[in-house]
A and B are shown apart, each in its own frame.
Chain A
Amino acid sequence: MGERRMTGEAGMTGRIGVTGGCRGVGRSEPRPDGVSKVEGLFSYVGDLSVPGMLHARTLRSPHPRARIRRLDTAAAAALPGVAAVVTAADVPGLATYGLIVSDQPVFAAAETRYAGEPVAAVAAVDAATARRALAAIEVEYEPLPPLVDPERALEPGAELVHPDGNVFRKITLRHGDPAVEGSVVVEDSYVVGMQDQAFLAPEAALVVPAADGGVDLWVATQWLHSDREQIAACLGLPEALVRLELAGIGGAFGGREDVTLQIHGALLALATGSPVRIAYDRVESFLGHPHRHPARMWFRHTATPAGDLVSVQARVVMDGGAYASSSPAVLANAVTHAAGPYRVPHARLDGLVVRTNNPPCGAMRGFGVPQVAFGHEAQMDRLADRLGMDPVALRVRNALVPGDVLPTGQVLGPPLPAREAIEAVAARPLPPRLTDDTPRTARPGGRAAGAPISRIRRGVGYALGYKNLLFSEGMDDSSTARIRLALDDAGQPFATVHSACSEVGQGFVTIAGQIARTELGVERIELLPADTRVGSAGSTSASRQTWMSGGAVRGACVAVVDRLLARVARALGLPAEVVESPRRALVIDEGEIIGAETGTRLALTEALAAGPVEAEYTFHHRRTTALDEHGQGDPHVAFAAAAHRAVVDVDPDLGLVRVVALALAQDCGTVINPLSLRGQVEGGTAQGLGLAVMEELVTVGGVVTNPTLHDYLLPTAADVPALDFVALTYPHPDSPYGAKGVGETPTCTATAAIVAAIRDAVGRDLRRVPVRPVDLVDLADRDDWDDRDEPVDAAPAASADRPDAADRPDVVDRPDVVDRPDVVDRPDVVDRPEVVLREGHR
């Protein structure tokens, strides 16, 4: 995309010079973009501008379901300052797009299927004019009754929300002997509300029409190449004419995996021949991207009186909203993780993800797993209670160990320190009790509430979970990187790293530099902007980029070193077999090439004098398989485990919760950057806290009622306690350096642990999240309370699937409380031998 610079020198998007010493993998290197970020000079996508650019805004349907009878843009287009108005009629290529299934219209044409669905977009000289033009677009809607209850959408004869049908995917997993059950049974239903990623920088893009008939886009996306494929198809352009460069991203968390405004902006840029900045405000951001799936779940766990799980039965119904997004993959995650990280000989796990007239749902941190973790961990606590067992002991007893068979039939490979994780958090010191000296700011409700200490109840809760890493079900989500090693103008060696990996804040830019420095022994590393001039890096999701794009950067570096050493071997007249595999005779270290036996030293600068060395490498993870008709297969590449312990104080009179302390032990593999790791697990924990006690996008009749930061509550510094973190660092044999992705796993367990602690404090069932004040207080007329809530019962309707309650065996032989195993002197970081895989590891 040429040498275009955005908004001044410090604000170059993506072009991040990495400087500093040869510190490399394993160190807490600072972010290369950190200085520009703390100084306010880093350019985010919404900060970009070019002279003469137009400003674009989007018209959205206010109705969850309506027929569009008439759409007249003439008045809007005639307004002074309006450059173009586009609708479905102006889409030259494919009318729909989508991550997995192309079912989402670029603009609604005949029918709108959710409140907030784009109907038209306008480009004008400024944003205010564009907004006035939106108001001038005449749309005649015929509102239709929306289908907003996912169970109703499944009923025979239910009206179809979309010609493709009302079920995005159904999974019926059968493992072991479905008839076998243990004598101790717990069964209940659970509900998870709709969470939003609520990344801080709202959606925006800058689109510039090109002389060759194509477009150049600066976008904030998690997956450049998937965006390009979808945009090009809708524009009717070859992909080569659609060029994307990553602009600065202010958070993503799954919410930027889908295309939102990119195609609209491109249509307007092509229609006007002018650069277009298209942007959402906060309300639009809440309406514009898919959310975390709400779920209704029913679980039936059975165990032996000694506390060994015998069977898990589950039915998970997820509301996918109007369009598919990543729903099919989210459901697979939910179903295959529904039993949790436990040894379960017999499983019947059913999942459905359903189309409704609610807002579309897709990827959010954890991707289907936080929902089921909330359910299976509530069940484990109930089972422990029924058995009279300590909840930690029950988890320790049943925790998966490598070699165990998962409900999919997949054999668990090493390592998965699930047992170690729950033991580690249980061993952490507990926070002190409240006293009369505890400041109000440290009590439930903060400064304003001020409950007397005597009324506040404390509770402690645990959760253990695991999460798959990388894409599953046979996907080959490879990542490509290109490395060039050359001399700079001053004659010093420097390397450029080119990867299309989206930096969303997670720190790939940091570790890419660390890896290159480690592998090349060169101090100066320059990261080229992430763009579509290099092969796909795949999505920044599924905890995959450290492994996949880290692996690609590493592989390309290794290839560069091999080529350089071969050149040196050739120049030195070494035998052909040394030229073939020069690492036997030569090593590269700290800017020098050293003869392994001879000790001869050659400066890298001399070796590079003959010209730069380049290599491209594509990293693939091991092959997995699709699920068969019984949900069996080898679907997941790898897993990471985590356990949280939460301590809460609850004011039961006002229904206020304060999360007092959180401990986390997480399976991280080899740590590439300890500081980045800590930031990831703290941030992931905070998002789990949000789902536990405050975050919910509320819909009434399909319409989101709280799309603002006034009404959608995000955790603040006053809500999130310090995290007591234990890193379990067992290297994974298949990943670069043994690292594992770390961003999602803590989000999967934090919610469950916090709600467990609230249950412990107040003695209520609490079968839905987020837990609201009304769920914690005694309302005399609770039955009359106008509850917008969905019914909590999610049990299967067919009696064949649901054992009659009367048949439920009584608990027999209730054992005495099993003592929690002692965990002594566990260090903060459980160290395992560091993997040293420097040479040619693939």
Chain B
Amino acid sequence: MSTGGVGPDGAGAGAAGMRAGVGVGVGVDADAVSAGVLSLSYRLNIDGVRRAVADARIEESLLTVLRERLGVTAVKDACEQGRCGSCSVLLDDRLVLACTVLAADAVDARVVTVAGLGAGGPAADIQAAFLEHGAVQCGFCTPGMVVAVTDLLGRRPSADEDEIRDALAGNVCRCTGYGRIIAAVRDVQASRAQAATTTGTVRWANGA
């Protein structure tokens, strides 16, 4: 191999330009506007970290900015059509598809990806259950699926199987046939109910 080190895609990318600050953390590139290309610079709150986005075209989706500009590859890109759920993230605790949200619209919101839900967070037990129950094969749907399950169990901790299947119908998995995913979700519900009985609280309700 002849080339040097590698790193996350697009980190620090974007040409420097004159930016006139407009509103909260949003800047408009005056040159770009005169050229007919509306370009913005702003900051996004991704998993609790403020990330600067420089000179993004206004039509860029949250998915594009996350993956191509900020290198957040934990959010997957499978269709860019709002049909597969692979890019599911929480936007101010609301489940959204990052491909259908303009990044510039997420400026004042908290964006939470699967990377911000694990490791002691509200999805840690979901992730463990996915592994234990064989809910992961190729794993490409998994980050989005974990976010969707986190949202569902936060809202409806004791959803029955029909409701679980209905709620997860926006997240396509091509490998598993969903059986092990449902088993994992049921197991999480049982464990949480058990823990709630023991401690008198529901630990992760409402994403707490």
A→B interface (CB under 8 Å): 1-2, 4-8, 11, 28, 30-31, 33-35, 37-44, 46-52, 126-128, 198-202, 208-211, 216, 249-253, 275, 281-282, 439, 441-442, 446-447, 504-507, 675-676, 678-679, 682-687, 708-710, 714-720, 722-723
Contact = CB atoms under 8 A, between A and B. Distances in A.
Given A50-B6, A200-B86, A717-B164, A710 B81 contact: yes
B142 interface: yes
B136 A216 contact: no
B6 A709 contact: no
B77 A46 contact: yes
A714 B131 contact: no
Nearest to B114: A40
A436 to B, nearest CB: 15
Contacts of B3: 50-52, 208, 275
A472 to B, nearest CB: 26
Contact of A40 (B81, B115, B134, B138): B115
A7 B9 contact: yes
B2 A209 contact: yes
Nearest to A250: B140
A13 to B, nearest CB: 11
A251 B176 contact: no
A350 B9 CA distance: 53
A76 B77 CA distance: 27
B78 A718 contact: no
A237 to B, nearest CB: 15
Contacts, number: 223
Contacts of A28: 134
A40 B75 contact: yes
Given A34-B136, A39-B127, 18 more contacts: A5-B6, A7-B9, A34-B139, A39-B118, A44-B140, A200-B86, A210-B1, A210-B2, A251-B175, A506-B137, A676-B134, A679-B177, A679-B180, A682-B177, A683-B174, A714-B84, A717-B169, A719-B169
A210 to B, nearest CB: 5
Q: How large is the interface on B (under 10, 10 to 19, 20 to 34, 35 or more residues)?
A: 35 or more
B1 A1 contact: yes
Contacts of A44: 73, 76, 140
A504 B138 contact: yes
B59 to A, nearest CB: 10
B78 A201 contact: yes
A82 B140 CA distance: 31
Q: Considering residues B2, B118, B175, B179, which has the most beta carbons from chain A within 10 angstroms of its beta carbon?
A: B175
20 contacts: A30-B134, A37-B136, A38-B131, A39-B74, A39-B115, A40-B114, A40-B142, A44-B73, A50-B3, A126-B68, A200-B174, A253-B174, A282-B78, A282-B79, A675-B180, A676-B134, A678-B180, A679-B134, A679-B175, A718-B165
A249 B81 contact: no
A269 to B, nearest CB: 11
Q: Is the interface of B mostly helix, strand, loop or mixed?
A: loop
A717 B143 contact: no
A39 B1 contact: no
Q: Considering residues A5, A38, A249, A251, which has the most beta carbons from chain B within 10 angstroms of its beta carbon?
A: A38
Contacts of B163: 441
B83 A708 contact: yes
B135 to A, nearest CB: 8
Contacts of A714: 84, 172, 174
A200 B141 contact: yes
B165 A507 contact: no
Contacts of B73: 7, 11, 40, 43-44, 47
Contact of B131 (A4, A35, A249, A439): A35
A334 B55 CA distance: 55
A723 B179 CA distance: 7
Contacts of A6: 6
B4 interface: yes
Contacts of B181: 717
Contacts of B10: 49
B165 A31 contact: no
B113 interface: yes
Given A8-B7, A718-B165, A199 B138 contact: yes
B100 to A, nearest CB: 12
Contacts of B172: 200, 709, 714, 716
A8 B181 CA distance: 28
Contacts of B138: 199-201, 249-252, 504-505
A40 B76 CA distance: 9
Q: Considering residues B84, B139, B173, which has the most beta carbons from chain A within 10 angstroms of its beta carbon?
A: B139
A251 B140 contact: yes
Ranked nearest first, the 9 interchain pairs of A and B with the lowest CB-CB distance are A40-B74, A505-B138, A37-B139, A250-B140, A686-B177, A49-B9, A682-B177, A709-B83, A505-B137
Contact of B176 (A252, A447, A682, A710): A682
Contacts of B141: 200
Contact of B79 (A678, A709, A716): A709
Q: Considering residues A34, A200, A504, which has the most beta carbons from chain B within 10 angstroms of its beta carbon?
A: A200
Contacts of A8: 7-8
B105 interface: no
Interface in B68-99: 68, 71, 73-81, 83-84, 86
B31 interface: no
